[in-house]
Each structure stands twice: as structure tokens, then as C-alpha cells.
Amino acid sequence: MPDGDIVHSRLRRLFQKPYKWLCEGAATSDDCARVVLDKLKQDIKTKGDLPISLAQEMAASISQVMGAIDEPGEGDFARLSMEFDNLIQCADGRPDLKELTLRAGKSFLNDLRNGREVDVTNTSEAIVERYMNEVYESEFKERIPLTAEHHAGATQEILEKRIEAMQPSIDSGIYKFAQNAIKNQSVAKLSLPRRSSRKAIDLDEDLLAG
């Protein structure tokens, strides 16, 4: 399918192909996940490094509080939340990126406050991972139901099952993207995770052509 073909009006052009693959059901869950991750990687790289630097500043604030107090209280978490708000407000950049990063940071903070298991040894990486998940959700997953009729006769129920089936691969790929972004201090060199030794599927292939 040429990149210009639109089969879902509420999805950006970048994500038309992975949506089409999911609807047609000809590819495996892993291959569908891989084409989604490829487009997600492109999108994250285009969005730039602002979320990375913001996540690192949020992580530094959390580390400072956690290092100074044995058991942070509600007041400490409230101050951190306000710090995050101020950080985002003062940052120079696209409002949508700042909002996605703020949601990621506050999600981490909320889990920390409520005693849920979070990685406090790699806080910046964990926040970046959540930011990338926010991008995936807002740009692709949450938009899929926003059409009256799906491509190739697929139903919403079928698509939900296919999305659920590829979720572990999506999660693994995003985790590796986040590791890479923190390691390089940038999203510029993001790359797809290595795949199995079996024949790689062509990410530009039309699986139903023939």
C-alpha cells in the first residue's frame, strides 16, 4: 500500500499501514507489532528530544526527594507534582509533547505515591518509557475505534484481540527504545529490536497483493 493511501481517516498517514495489516490479519502478531514499532520509532524521532530532557529533569527531582527522606509523605509528592507542572510550563516546545511528558511523569509519581512497583534506580528511563507509551496510545491505539467501519471488514472486537496479542512485543520494543534514548541522550539513533533469525518480513510489503 502506498504511504498516501488512507483507509482510516482518524489515523495519521504514518500509521495507515500497521492499521491495514491488523485489519487484514495476514501477518503474525510479532510482524504486526514490528511494523507498528517501526512507525512509532519514526514518530518519536520526529517529535524530538524535548521529552527526554524533561523526563531527566523530573527524574532528578524525584531522586533528590527520595535521597533526602526515608519515607516521602503526601506533602513531598504534592511538591513534586507542582515542580513537574512548573517544569512543563517553563519549557520551550510543542504543547502536545509537553503534555504527553507531563502525563508520563505524573503517572510514575502516582505509582510511587501509591506504593506500586516502579523502577526508582532508572527513573528517567522509566518516565521516557511511559512517554513513549503515551505516544503509542494517543497516536495509534486510542484512534483505532474512531471510525464507523473498519478496513477489510474487520470488527472492533477482532482488532482489540489482535492488538492485545501484539502488546507484549510492543511493550518490549518501547522498553528498548527508552533504554536507547537514555543511553544516547537522544531519540535520533533509535532502532528496531533485533528479530528472530527467520526471514524478515518487508515492512513495505502489501501482504494481500498477488
Instruction: Give residue-wise pLDDT tens across range 51-101.
Output: 999 999 999 999 999 888 778 899 999 999 999 999 999 999 999 999 999
Whole-structure pTM value:
0.91
User: Is residue 199 a part of any domain in this protein?
Assistant: no
Q: Indicate if 64 and 112 belong to the same structural domain.
A: yes
Q: Which domain holds residue 82?
A: 50-131
Q: Indicate if 65 and 27 belong to the same structural domain.
A: no
**Cα separation, 109 vs 203, whole angstroms:** 37
Q: Indicate if 105 and 74 belong to the same structural domain.
A: yes
Number of domains in the chain: 2
Burial pattern 158-176, b for ≥16 Cβ within 10 A else e, equals ebeebbeebeebbeebbbb
User: Is residue 108 a part of any domain in this protein?
Assistant: yes
Q: Which residue has the higher pLDDT, 103 or 208?
A: 103
User: Is residue 192 a part of any domain in this protein?
Assistant: no
The alpha carbon of residue 88 and the mean position of all alpha carbons in its chain are separated, in whole angstroms, by: 19
Burial pattern 130-141, b for ≥16 Cβ within 10 A else e, equals bbbbbbbeebbb
Closest CA to 35 of 209, 166, 180: 166
Give residue-wise pLDDT tens across range 122-181: 999 999 999 999 999 999 999 999 999 999 999 999 999 999 999 999 999 999 999 999
**Cα separation, 199 vs 81, whole angstroms:** 48
Q: Indicate if 127 and 57 belong to the same structural domain.
A: yes
